[in-house]
Amino acid sequence: MIAYLIGLFTGLVPAFSTGPVFLTLVQHAIDHGFKRAVYFIVGVALTDTSIIILTWLGLSQLSDRSETSVELTIGGGVLLLLFGLVFILKKESGTQTPQNSSSGHLHKFGLFTQAIMLNAINPIVWGFWAAISNYAITEFHDTTQELLFFAGVLNMVWITDILKAYYAQRLKKVLSDRIKRYIKLGIGVVLALLGVKMLVEGLL
């Protein structure tokens, strides 16, 4: 249960990330309504889950070799620290808006497939979930605990995505550039601290 709770807390990081998926979800909810936006959420959820499974299985095989466990811990720490610094230092371009490729005729399947493509082709998404998978492996050392951790992360992401779509109109009005900057700073600090923790554990 502790692993699940840690997963819920960790899930706040991707849940409040204001990247292309976040902005596209909000825009689709506004343009096409909450019910249709759910198809986009399902596509995102399916892709996130698939990427986690792939990265977790790959890293689990490496972690079975005792000589690589320390390297994995250090590598994961470096990766999380770098992601944290990117969130902290990267400035908003001011022109990052989701692509709205429809005037009301975007079908449910189109929303679903767009979410999959938007997630699957983004190397940052792959790198982030690989870092999270690495963290789970090095932190818990037990398959059941790792799965509980992932369940917590994904549950938090799914719940917040649904809330984003439901409150999209209000959210877009409140989400100023300044607020988005504060959110990114908070995410960056959390990721950096997790990275430092893993680095210390690996080096010691």
Tokens of 200: 């210390």
How many whole angstroms separate alpha carbon 204 and alpha carbon 43?
Answer: 41
The pLDDT of residue 155: 95
Tokens of 12: 């706040």
**Interval 34-50: pLDDT, tens:** 888 899 999 999 999 99
**Interval 48-64: pLDDT, tens:** 999 999 999 888 776 65
**Interval 135-175: pLDDT, tens:** 888 888 788 999 999 999 999 999 999 999 998 877 777 77
Using CA of residue 69, residue 72, residue 78, residue 80, what is the dihedral sign?
Answer: negative
Nearest-5° Cα angle at 23, 21 to 24: 65
Tokens of 8: 């819920």
**Interval 75-132: pLDDT, tens:** 777 877 887 787 778 765 543 444 444 444 446 788 888 889 888 887 778 888 888 8
How many whole angstroms separate alpha carbon 155 and alpha carbon 3?
Answer: 13
Banded pLDDT at 72 (limits 50, 70, 90): low
Q: What average pLDDT does this structure show over 4-23?
A: 85
The pLDDT of residue 148: 95
| Between residues 10 and 90, the one the model is more confident about | 10
The pLDDT of residue 102: 45
The pLDDT of residue 69: 61
The pLDDT of residue 109: 84
The pLDDT of residue 144: 92
